């Protein structure tokens, strides 16, 4: 059974599927623009060949996504069930690890592929490629794992790489090729004879039977893992062009000039329980011995806590020693551990992992029989090293000059078993560093998280907390906890701040650290909002017009960091349970999620007429085109893919039953029995052959587009049945359970808010439950205050509102939703009132007031609020309603009444 994907992983793969579906019809550039909402330029470095990137921060499972990307690219763009895949990794170490994982039938990487290809799957390296015969190529998905280095070179120097050499062991793959297939392949030249003397002058002009030409022939799907390390300089894309890929998928935490199709935030990894956050940072200004002492205490404390967990966890301490010439080198640190803590620490607890000493090579750190609790290294641990039991990092190198500290920090971020632990102490990571300034240490670590770990700046700002925690302001209490003072924040100013810039009365609140780029301002903890704003204004007054923009952005970031620290979720406040709509099923009340709704909709696929509107095949002597209509979008496919091109030259041996069985495997829909689906597919194939007059050969050649059209048709038919049910009795049966309980309600849980586009602005919200606010623009593109921002302000300032949340769409696990006749409706705002009532607010601009979706949302919102005696309030607000009330008046009216 393959590993169940997290929500962000499914969304990444859905974006990839949408892109390749559109790219097959419209081309890569247009498809990219349709899929990416931001105005991002597509870099067409492969002359029309689709090339996109998935951005996933450290710890997000990039390699698992790579495995799942293969069948998506194969069926939606390359049009084949037997793809050749070239999987490129940056180093030989990662190559070996990837090969081992893909060959292991119990590993999630292998299971991801096996779930689609079954036993028609071969994993190999370049050397074993020579054992593949021509028959294998068209019968299995073949994944070849290697490094880019074996191909990457200037065109004039290809003789220096064996991949470009004539290799007789590959000759059978080059028999019977057409001129079209060989037109772009390397050929034997007079220069070739110098390096391969077994060739003669008669061979000049002959197609090289080379590794590069093998890939050129079969148009591989290319996967580039760790793309930021794997680009190989200016020759990278020219090299890929020689391989003639069908498409390219890159995965990286830190993209640079990549075509980023989908970007995952660190917040999404946290709520998906993939990583430990925040990182609790402790500085040690006096000695490395102090750093080790406190790190050992930290590890021991976590070990005692871990003993109460259901799953086995043995917290591990990573120590980054100084190099061999340093005082705290590897040998000294190990001796210190054994001499100072010998009564507690034994030698078998300690493993050294350096370039010379590799004591982790054969150690299974996850095994309960392993004794290792401390790992000493100097620079990075071996590439690909991954042990989620690593919890504590002690870096004995000065943080200002420490090498690879962020790589080691990444090692302590991974969550054991990708599952939130019972005790919150085990949901955090811990770092102890040598530094005389905690402010500088924090700033440096944040910068490295952004530069090398895939964190956004706003994520890094909240990912590190200083230990001990700031003092609490006992005068500001709330339900569940005490609101802390504003934290210390660091602001980079792009010029030298003069000594008299900051007013005298504010100078005790600020530390000024000059550097080569300007000045770093340390705003002390406990500084009030008014003082913070005054400091900002003083700096802006000194800035040039260009610098004012940079200063404003820097202070907005710091303001958001202060706001995040003081958010209710961070002082143990709780948000009231929000009752959900449900249905009685077999005498039991159940939340009306997709599965419950589907089970409640009565429909028979065979009751609908068999048709496939929008699907068409046009064939001439020189062309073969397929038309589809998917979600009101007309798609046109030319003759694509290795398999289809080869198929054009030969008659088909496929039967109607073969096509039926193939479609039965590819087309799936929840709620349909196989008997019902096969009966429908049988009628459909007969309809296409006898009514639409397509030939079986045509349908075979268009089988991938046909399966897509059938899947879309099944979705359309179910949507009709669901809509009919909602317009009938089903809607009136939806109701809230009599007594709100966790099992029949939604809960905004602390730390579970997968923000992607955080709010940055001058207004400081004080009642937003979470530390960040997702996708809230202060101003429109025209410079006016946005209407949704006004909604948020009105909620934050309203005396009846206790907490509120900006609801994130398409996050069913972490956001409040209501069922509709199509899918889920995610209201814009959800608020808890001071009396415990729940207020749900959806804002709609005037241009959408009469839209059908607005009508549906308003109806389901009122159904949710029905019969609640004012405990559930729903409002679909407008800039001005039908009786002339303003937005503020609408909110006041419904909350006061």
Residue 477 lies in a domain: no
542 and 651 assigned to the same domain: no
Residue 464 lies in a domain: yes
Omega prior to 222 cis, within 30 of 0: no
At 359, list the tokens: 């004591």
Residue 570 lies in a domain: no
Among 565, 585, 614, give the residue marking a domain's end: 565
| 3-state DSSP assignment of residue 52 | strand
337 and 394 assigned to the same domain: yes
401 and 275 assigned to the same domain: yes
| 3-state DSSP assignment of residue 425 | helix
Distance of CA 333 to the CA centre of its chain: 38
Interhelix angle for 62-73 vs 108-117, to 10°?
Answer: 10
417 and 290 assigned to the same domain: yes
538 and 615 assigned to the same domain: no
Query: In the chain, how many domains are there?
Result: 5
Is the predicted pLDDT of residue 644 greater than 60, yes or no? no
Percent of the chain with pLDDT over 90: 49
Residue corresponding to tokens 């990837």: 98
The pLDDT of residue 463 is 84
Buried b or exposed e, range 115-129, using 16+ CB within 10 angstroms: ebbeeebbbbebeeb
- Rounded-to-integer distance, Cα 528 and Cα 506, Å: 11
Q: Given CA atoms 395, 396, 401, 403 in this order, what sign does their dihedral have?
A: negative
HSE-up of residue 657 (Cα within 13 Å, Cβ side): 0
Query: 577 phi and psi, to 5 degrees?
Result: -65, 140
The pLDDT of residue 134 is 84
CA nearest to 430, candidates 404, 408, 448: 408
Among 193, 226, 256, give the residue marking a domain's end: 256
Bridging pattern class, strands 51-55 and 247-252: parallel
Among 198, 229, 256, give the residue marking a domain's end: 256
The pLDDT of residue 850 is 54
- Across 812-823, average pLDDT: 94
- Across 114-122, average pLDDT: 93
Cβ-based neighbours of 645, under 8 Å, separated by 6 or more: 639
501 and 457 assigned to the same domain: no
- pLDDT level of residue 531 (50, 70, 90 thresholds): very high
The pLDDT of residue 735 is 92
DSSP strands (E only) in 314-369: 316-320, 350-352
Is the predicted pLDDT of residue 640 greater than 50, yes or no? no
At 707, list the tokens: 């399966």
The pLDDT of residue 196 is 85
Residue 367 lies in a domain: yes
Residue 578 lies in a domain: no
Cβ-based neighbours of 699, under 8 Å, separated by 6 or more: 617, 659, 685, 688, 689, 706
Residue 12 lies in a domain: no
684 and 815 assigned to the same domain: no
Q: Which has more confidence, 680 or 136? A: 680
Q: Which has more confidence, 156 or 569? A: 569
**If 0-12 CB within 10 Å is exposed, 13-18 middle and 19+ buried, where does residue 16 land?**
buried
885 close to 893: Cβ distance less than 8 angstroms: yes
- Rounded-to-integer distance, Cα 163 and Cα 171, Å: 14
Residue 279 lies in a domain: yes
291 and 352 assigned to the same domain: yes
143 close to 102: Cβ distance less than 8 angstroms: yes
At 273, list the tokens: 């329980």
Q: Which has more confidence, 306 or 757? A: 306
100 and 53 assigned to the same domain: yes
- Rounded-to-integer distance, Cα 349 and Cα 803, Å: 48
- Rounded-to-integer distance, Cα 347 and Cα 351, Å: 8
**If 0-12 CB within 10 Å is exposed, 13-18 middle and 19+ buried, where does residue 437 land?**
middle
Is the predicted pLDDT of residue 848 greater than 60, yes or no? no
Q: How far apart are the first and last CA of the chain?
A: 54
Is the predicted pLDDT of residue 673 greater than 80, yes or no? yes
Question: What confidence tens digit (pLDDT) does each residue in 54-74 have?
Answer: 999 988 999 999 999 999 999
Is the predicted pLDDT of residue 166 greater than 60, yes or no? yes
Bridging pattern class, strands 260-263 and 51-55: parallel
Region of poorest pLDDT, from 54-68, 221-235, 503-517, 537-551: 221-235
At 325, list the tokens: 């010439």
Ranges of H-type helices in 196-232: 211-218
The pLDDT of residue 642 is 41
Residue 649 lies in a domain: yes
Check which CATH number belongs to the domain holding 312 and give it.
3.40.50
At 585, list the tokens: 């099923």
**If 0-12 CB within 10 Å is exposed, 13-18 middle and 19+ buried, where does residue 226 land?**
buried
The pLDDT of residue 481 is 59
Question: What confidence tens digit (pLDDT) does each residue in 346-404 have?
Answer: 999 999 988 888 888 888 899 999 999 999 998 766 655 678 999 999 999 877 666 67
Which structural domain, as residue segments, surrounds residue 527? Answer: 491-565
Residue 602 CB: number of other CB atoms within 10 A? 10
Is the predicted pLDDT of residue 1 greater than 60, yes or no? no
136 and 236 assigned to the same domain: yes
| 3-state DSSP assignment of residue 816 | coil
Q: Given CA atoms 410, 411, 415, 417 in this order, what sign does their dihedral have?
A: positive
691 and 671 assigned to the same domain: yes
456 and 501 assigned to the same domain: no
Is the predicted pLDDT of residue 796 greater than 80, yes or no? yes
Q: Which has more confidence, 863 or 343? A: 863
Question: What confidence tens digit (pLDDT) does each residue in 444-460 have?
Answer: 888 888 888 888 887 88
At 827, list the tokens: 């209201």
- Rounded-to-integer distance, Cα 405 and Cα 377, Å: 11
């Amino acid at each position: 059974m393959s590993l169940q994907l997290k929500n962000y992983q499914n969304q990444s793969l859905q974006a990839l599927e949408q892109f390749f579906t559109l790219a097959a019809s419209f081309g890569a550039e247009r498809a990219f623009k349709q899929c990416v909402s931001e105005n991002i330029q597509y870099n067409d470095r492969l002359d029309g060949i689709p090339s996109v990137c998935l951005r996933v921060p450290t710890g997000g499972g990039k390699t698992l996504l790579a495995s799942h990307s293969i069948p998506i690219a194969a069926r939606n763009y390359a049009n084949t069930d037997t793809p050749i895949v070239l999987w490129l990794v940056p180093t030989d170490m990662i190559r070996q690890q990837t090969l081992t994982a893909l060959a292991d039938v119990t590993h999630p990487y292998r299971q991801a592929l096996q779930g689609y290809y079954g036993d028609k799957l071969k994993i190999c390296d370049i050397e074993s490629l020579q054992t593949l015969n021509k028959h294998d190529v068209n019968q299995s998905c073949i994944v070849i794992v290697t490094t880019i280095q074996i191909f990457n070179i200037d065109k004039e120097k290809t003789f220096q790489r064996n991949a470009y050499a004539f290799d007789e062991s590959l000759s059978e793959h080059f028999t019977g090729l057409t001129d079209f297939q060989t037109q772009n392949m390397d050929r034997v030249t007079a220069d070739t004879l110098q390096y391969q003397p077994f060739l003669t002058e008669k061979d000049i002009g002959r197609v090289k039977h080379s590794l590069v030409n093998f890939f050129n022939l079969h148009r591989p799907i290319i996967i580039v893992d760790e793309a930021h390390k794997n680009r190989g300089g200016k020759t990278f894309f020219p090299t890929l062009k020689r391989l003639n890929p069908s498409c390219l998928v890159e995965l990286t935490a830190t993209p640079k000039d990549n075509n980023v199709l989908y970007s995952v935030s660190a917040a999404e990894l946290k709520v998906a329980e993939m990583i430990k956050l925040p990182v609790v940072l402790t500085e040690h200004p006096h000695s490395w011995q102090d750093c080790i002492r406190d790190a050992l205490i930290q590890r021991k404390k976590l070990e005692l806590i871990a003993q109460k967990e259901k799953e086995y966890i043995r917290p591990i301490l990573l120590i980054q020693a100084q190099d061999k010439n340093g005082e705290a080198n590897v040998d000294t640190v190990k001796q210190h551990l054994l001499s100072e803590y010998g009564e507690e620490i034994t030698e078998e607890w300690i493993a050294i992992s350096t370039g010379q000493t590799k004591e982790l090579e054969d150690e299974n750190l996850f095994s309960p029989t392993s004794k290792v609790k401390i790992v000493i290294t100097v620079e990075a641990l071996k590439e690909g090293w991954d042990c989620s039991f690593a919890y504590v990092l002690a870096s004995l190198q000065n943080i200002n000059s420490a090498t690879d500290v962020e790589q080691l920090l990444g090692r302590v971020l991974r969550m054991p078993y990708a599952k939130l632990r019972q005790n919150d102490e085990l949901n955090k990571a811990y770092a102890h560093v040598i530094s005389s300034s905690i402010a500088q240490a924090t700033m440096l670590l944040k910068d490295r998280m952004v530069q090398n770990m895939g964190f956004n700046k706003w994520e890094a700002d909240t990912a590190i907390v200083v230990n001990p925690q700031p003092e609490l302001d006992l005068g500001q209490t709330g339900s569940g906890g005490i609101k802390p003072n504003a934290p210390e924040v660091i602001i980079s100013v792009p010029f030298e701040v003069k000594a008299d810039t900051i007013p005298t009365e504010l100078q005790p609140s600020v530390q000024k650290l000059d550097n080569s780029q300007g000045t770093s301002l340390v705003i002390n903890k406990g500084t009030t909002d008014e003082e913070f704003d005054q400091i900002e204004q003083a700096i802006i007054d000194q800035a040039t017009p260009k610098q004012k923009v940079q200063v404003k952005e820097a202070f907005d970031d710091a303001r958001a960091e202060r706001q995040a620290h003081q958010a209710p979720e961070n002082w143990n406040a709780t948000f009231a349970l929000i009752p959900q709509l449900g249905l009685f099923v077999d005498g039991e009340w159940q939340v009306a999620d997709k599965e419950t709704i589907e089970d409640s909709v009565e429909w028979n696929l065979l009751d609908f007429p068999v048709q496939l509107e929008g699907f068409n095949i046009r064939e001439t002597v020189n062309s073969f085109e397929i038309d589809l209509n998917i979600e009101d979008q007309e798609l046109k496919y030319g003759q694509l893919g290795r398999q289809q091109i080869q198929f054009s030259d030969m008659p088909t041996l496929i039967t109607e039953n073969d096509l039926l069985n193939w479609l039965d495997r590819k087309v799936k829909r929840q709620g349909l029995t196989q008997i019902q689906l096969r009966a429908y597919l049988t009628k459909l194939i007969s309809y296409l052959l006898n009514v639409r007059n397509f030939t079986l050969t045509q349908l075979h050649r268009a089988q991938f587009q046909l399966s897509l059209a059938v899947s879309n048709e099944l979705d359309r038919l179910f949507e009709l049945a669901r809509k009919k049910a909602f317009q009938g009795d089903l809607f009136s049966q939806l109701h809230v359970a009599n007594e709100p309980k966790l099992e029949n309600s939604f809960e905004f849980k602390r730390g579970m808010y997968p923000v992607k586009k955080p709010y940055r602005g001058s207004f400081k919200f004080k009642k937003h439950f979470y530390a960040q606010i997702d996708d809230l623009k202060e101003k429109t593109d025209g410079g006016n205050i946005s209407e949704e921002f006004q909604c948020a302000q009105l909620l934050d300032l309203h005396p009846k509102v206790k907490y509120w949340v900006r609801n994130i769409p398409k996050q069913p696990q972490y956001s409040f939703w209501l069922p509709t006749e199509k899918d889920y409706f995610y209201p814009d705002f959800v608020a808890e009132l001071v009396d415990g009532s729940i207020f749900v607010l959806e804002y709609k601009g005037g241009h959408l007031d009469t839209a059908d979706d607005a009508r549906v949302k308003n109806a389901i919102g009122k159904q949710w609020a029905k019969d609640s005696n004012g405990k559930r309030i729903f409002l679909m607000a407008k800039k001005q309603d039908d009786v002339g009330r303003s937005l503020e008046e609408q909110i006041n009216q419904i909350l006061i009444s």
